[in-house]
Structure 1
């Protein structure tokens, strides 16, 4: 899909050469990239972009200054995408704890279509780290559109959503959707909201938002006002001090309070921002520090229990000591991992091995239908051992065979059974789904229950969309670890190295919260608290009834195996919307539990939470509702009102509403068929058929039945897609056949006359 998108934009930029902007043009016409430039750059969006979808190239013209255009034969198949010119843009960011909520608003003009014609507009939204789309609003001249989440009631609803394949994610971080029939020369206003994670490394938070606009979206004309605006608010919680480090844009400080900062940037510009918006800051703490924030539920909240959020900062890295590690890498080498996935995994694994300290110990298990051990026991990470395992990996990591996850996991547990005075870690990497996943979770629960004071931690990494990421998340939850994924093959190395850095930098283990026993109806997310790493902020949340204790303590073990206690200050959450900050984590964890337990009530709870917070889940789908200007969207007009947040609306309730169903935005629960067939990650992407495929399909489905049915429309559609040379060749062929037919007729007539 991404390759087709880039090709369509390339075609669109070539097509936009038809547009005449007059003599008073401030911006040079867009120049398509050369082949050398395309090897480094790409037409994939690096900011929110809007494209005119052009099927008929004859409609491409300046709506203000119509010009003579030579006639264009044929159509664009697939349609070309012409980037629209942007009139203004505003970015608003609110950072709370480890989450950023982003809203970007802008106005674009359909500058490339005749005023008397219209076209579809495709909108692309690239998001930052672990981005999750929250909602979109579009205002066009005659209609407006607003996103909405609906609960999926049954398999029929799921099938309806699955068929809507034209929308959804172009890449794992690029969300796209299409608005139909926007008039040429008109303006279209768009507001998009999403959430993303803040990166944490070396005691520093980093916010990075795609905000790099290409030159060809700058409006033509010197007198057109172009204004950029950025609002940024940072809230790291009470009892902290925020220190700004670097910023990509010249921000002006508006306010400064304990743990809170506010900035603004506003400017008239000649060209739009040519770099992403990046902001880094630190929370100045010399030791492990934590707080507990409380918040009462809103009236519309589906869960009327009180909520709490416990967060622990790792503090200054100079004053911390990490645990010694015993690590077993369990790596999938089945047939689907052949090529780039396996090569990138080998590179990431080699980098991880080099980061082990000499006193750490390790082993590697490669598996497909069978398992292959580098060593039956753990070896110290000496220089010689690292060289030996690197050679072993290059010889034994050869893709092939089926996928059997339970066998290597049991072997890894056995290897780590005698670990002491260290953190035992199982690091699982796979791209496939297996049939016995719930059984594997049960076995791991049983095995880890019988371990020593510090049981093995399980860190799981999924590649692509064929593996069951909720199974892997459940495994990580059972093993007090973390789960991460690379849905895009280009991100495998970076994300594996990031997850291993988190696993390898544990500073506080076996964390427990003291003094919660008197609370009623207590629920904690996650149920087994992970370790505190110097590479991430630890957040534990929950719901409860009763009186929350005034004093709370977090107890754990340090790297020297001594006990450590953190006094936690309990206070009301002010200016931090806990329900929004915690919703994504809770939905992901509850979805994993719902998959594992196959509990329908839990699935319905997740769906209600998804609708309430506007966060997509496996049990909801996103739709765009269309409202015509001048018409009230009321029950009396035959259009249902916006659903209550206390109850998710069902798909059948919106039959009277004009709506567009977007493709299911969840990651799914794995694909056993694709795994058994050893399909590589990304093989499920839909691609437009090539012209030859169109001809073959048409011939087999329609023209092959010409004896009983004459399908002229099919022939017309095929011919309309041919280029000039092919049409001339086909005409000459038909002419030759006609001549042969005439010759045969004349021969028959002459023979009859002679006789």
Structure 2
């Protein structure tokens, strides 16, 4: 897989650093193996080795093809020359000279932050007479998105740019791919050819509400610079001998004794894809521990097709066991395992008690066997039937799958019709996607239709943790059937999602949308509590100027618009996604991100400080290199049918090169005739004339062999 190949390249690079000499004399110490490596457990040792070599913070590497180029640029070490080339290249971590981190947290209910990192690295491992590529790798978490990158190397500048994939762009892609995602949480960018340290962290928190913001904890010593209303700023700046090895974490809470919320509004801009104004509505559950959680009637639908074999299915089983243990007296549940067929834990909803939970876990251990194909509509219909009698509890469906099917649009339309017929007591449908072969936009749309929650995991190591969090968010409902009275005041008020989800006791609710007209100073959100009494929450409307609401909500809006465009097969919605993508530098399914190279020598002095190319730049001055793997795609039905397990990048399918097979075949037949020991001994006793004749005969036979090889390759063996 990609991350393992990357780790091996870094391991090779660390071994090459033994050739370097520090300015004070002496070589660099050899890389230490990770602590806690258990030689008796090869799998654990391999995982520790992999974790040790993958970057935990933004890192730059020298891409070394020629090991002879590795030397100190200031003090040559005069090491013995190394011959040969490295394929794949080795990666040597570069020395960081300066790092500056800026974090802007905006809108309390959105759980979104914009992170800007500026760093300088020194290429300390390549002699001055040689050049090398450099690769930048940025860990970004399972919910992170790359908004853009700018790199300056000498008199050349590189910056990412989002372009439309369908229209003719002014940028011509004339170079091979130069980066993308090594895995779902590691962004990579390759830059062609290229001791006191200073670290700085700036943090801005803008909650958007007039509530008290309470600092809970931070990994680095932050000094509060200022507090103005609901906006706080912090700073950490220090000269250090060694870089911090801790991840930067910052946690805060917005204190609220009970339900509270607000509406943030921002006028549309001239370059906006929609001329209507934007709003962000958020509801905070508060700290009232007396609020009751809805009783639940839950059906868990788990994909057990052949592609789920191994760790994915094991992680799902562990997470589902945790979810079952979190159910309380008064809840009801059932489990459906599906592939080509259905296997149910029970023929009806079972009441929660210690015995039924124990039986359910034993049943999973016996029946969660990865085999067969994928059929999603049948188990969904079965779950709907089971929940037709939900015992006055809130009906919920949890769908977990790693595959795509042909009738996904039909599933969405059918489920929407069934839910509308059931009214307020319709089942909530939450979806979880595993890997890249499932259609995540189908799952997102199905969750939006079902007033549920969508989540996904793209590597096997994060499945269990992400799924437990997803269960907790979707199952602890304290307010259901949310409605907003904005329609009383304005006619054009559209929420991005199909419906507003229920409010969870442990997570804030954030929905966005567009409106046209003038909102009143306050709006009223209404819903139902667990005892079926009605609750009204007053939402004050805030006209924000210092919160970039369009950027905060861009990713969420683009994903929902893409899901709608996919469901309706609507070209107009696709064009909106393209405009939103280019406007916010976010790659989408209809655009792609490229890396532009610009020569700073050919830029106007006024523009040079901004590292932006002039409009007169020729295509030669702006070479574009596409970045790969930044979007999810719309699933892979063929891979699902074949039960491929490469959706996580753990197992690569065998690649067969027919041209090599044919070449090796004909050459091996010739070698079989002339490589025996008897023939070699006979040749050693020949005189010169006989050797010349034999050489000519061998040359003729070799020509015939090459002719046969070429005929098979080019003509498929035809005359």
Please give the TM-score of this superposition, normalised by the length of structure 2: 0.87
1:312 maps to what in 2?
283
1:174 aligns with 2:186: yes
Match of 1:371 in 2: 342
Q: Distance in 1 between matches of 2:480 and 2:192?
A: 54
Q: Is the 8 A contact 2:150 2:160 kept in 1?
A: yes
Look up the match of 1:383. Answer: 354
CA distance in 2, matches of 1:444, 1:164: 44
Q: Could you list the per-position Cα deviations for residues 695-743 of structure 1 after superposition, in whole angstroms to 9, with x for gaps in the alignment? A: x888536566779xx9xxxxxxxxxxxxxxxxxxxxxx99998775454
- Equivalent of 2:493, from 519, 522, 536? 522
How many residue pairs get matched? 668
Q: Structure 1 163/427 Cα, relative in aligned 2: closer, same or farther at 3 Å?
A: farther
Q: Residues 290 and 247 from structure 1, CA distance in 2 versus in 1: closer, same or farther, beyond 3 angstroms?
A: same
Give the match for residue 710 of structure 2: none
Q: Quickly say closer, same or farther: Cα 1:750–1:80, change in 2 above 3 A.
A: closer
1:679 aligned partner: 644
| Other structure's SS at 1:462 match | strand
- The Cα of 1:486 is off from its aligned counterpart by 0.5
Correspondence for 1:545 among 513, 516, 541? 516
- Aligned residue for 1:662? 627
Match of 1:68 among 64, 69, 78: 78
Distance 2:319 2:173 in 1: 36
Tell me the equivalent position of 2:481.
510
Q: Secondary structure at the match of 1:666?
A: coil
* Distance of 1:17 and 1:462 partners within structure 2: 44
After superposition, the Cα gap between the structure-2 partners of 1:313 and 1:736, relative to the gap in structure 1 and judged at 3 Å, is farther
Calculate the aligned-residue CA RMSD, in Å. 3.1
Matched, 1:55 2:95: no
Query: For residues 518 and 47 of structure 1, do their structure 2 counterparts lie closer, same or farther at Cα, with a shift above 3 Å needed?
Result: same
Q: Distance in 1 between matches of 2:676 and 2:199?
A: 60
Pair 1:150 & 2:115 matched = no
* d(CA) in 2 for partners of 1:259, 1:320: 27
Alpha-carbon distance, 1:749 to partner? 7.9
CA contact (8 A) 2:474 2:504 kept: yes
Distance 2:412 2:174 in 1: 29
Aligned position for 2:88: 78
Q: Deviations over 1:67-89 (max 9, x none)?
A: 21212122211111000010010
Structure 1 pair 67/738, CA: closer, same or farther in 2 (3 Å)? farther
Query: For residue 712 of structure 2, what is the aligned residue in structure 1?
Result: none
The yes-or-no answer on 1:333 pairing with 2:304 is: yes
1:535 positional shift: 2.2
8 Å CA contact retained: 1:524, 1:540: yes
Q: Say whether 1:286 aligns with 2:257.
A: yes
Matched, 1:45 2:55: yes
Assess, with a 3 A threshold, how the Cα gap between structure 1 residues 457 and 227 changes in structure 2: closer, same or farther: same
Cα offsets for 1:42-92 (capped at 9, x unmatched): 200100000011111010000000121212122211111000010010100
Q: 2:328 aligns with which of 348, 351, 357?
A: 357
After TM superposition, give the deviation of residue 289 of structure 1 in Å.
0.3
Contact 1:311 1:538 in 2 (8 A): yes
SS at match of 2:451: coil
Q: Please, which runs of 5 or more residues in structure 2 have no aligned partner?
A: 39-44, 606-611, 695-719
CA distance in 2, matches of 1:566, 1:415: 34
Q: Mark the runs of 5 or more structure 1 residues left unpaired by the alignment.
A: 183-223, 635-640, 645-652, 711-732
The 1:130/1:342 distance shift into structure 2, 3 A limit, reads same
CA pair 512-688 structure 1, distance change in 2 beyond 3 A: closer
CA pair 162-378 structure 1, distance change in 2 beyond 3 A:
farther
1:135 aligns with 2:148: yes
- 1:83-102 matches, cutoff 5 A: 83-97=93-107, 98-102=111-115
The two structures have a TM-score, normalised by structure 1, of 0.83
1:531 partnered with 2:502? yes
Say if 2:196 is the partner of 1:225: yes
Aligned to 2:9: 8
The farther-off stretch of 446-455 and 4-13 is 446-455
Q: 1:749 to 1:409 in 2, by over 3 A?
A: closer
Paired residues of 1:14 and 1:32 also in contact (CA < 8 A) = no
Contact 2:264 2:281 in 1 (8 A): yes
- 2:134 aligned residue: 121
- Residues 602-630 of structure 1: CA deviation (Å, up to 9, x unaligned): 11110110110112211110011111121
**2:297–2:391 CA contact under 8 A, matched in 1:** no
Separation (CA, whole Å) in 2 of partners of 1:460 and 1:33 = 37
Partner of 2:702: none
**Distance change >3 Å, CA 246–CA 740, structure 1 → 2:** farther
What is the CA distance between 1:125 and its match in structure 2? 0.3
Report whether the alignment pairs 1:109 with 2:127: no
Displacement of 1:521 in angstroms is 3.9
Rounded to whole Å, the distance in 1 between the matches of 2:174 and 2:186 is 19
- Does the 8 A contact of 1:161 with 1:621 survive in 2? no
CA distance 1:58–1:751, change in 2 (3 Å)? closer
Q: Is the contact made by 1:297 and 1:305 (CA closer than 8 Å) also made in structure 2? A: yes
Change (3 A) 1:133 1:104: same
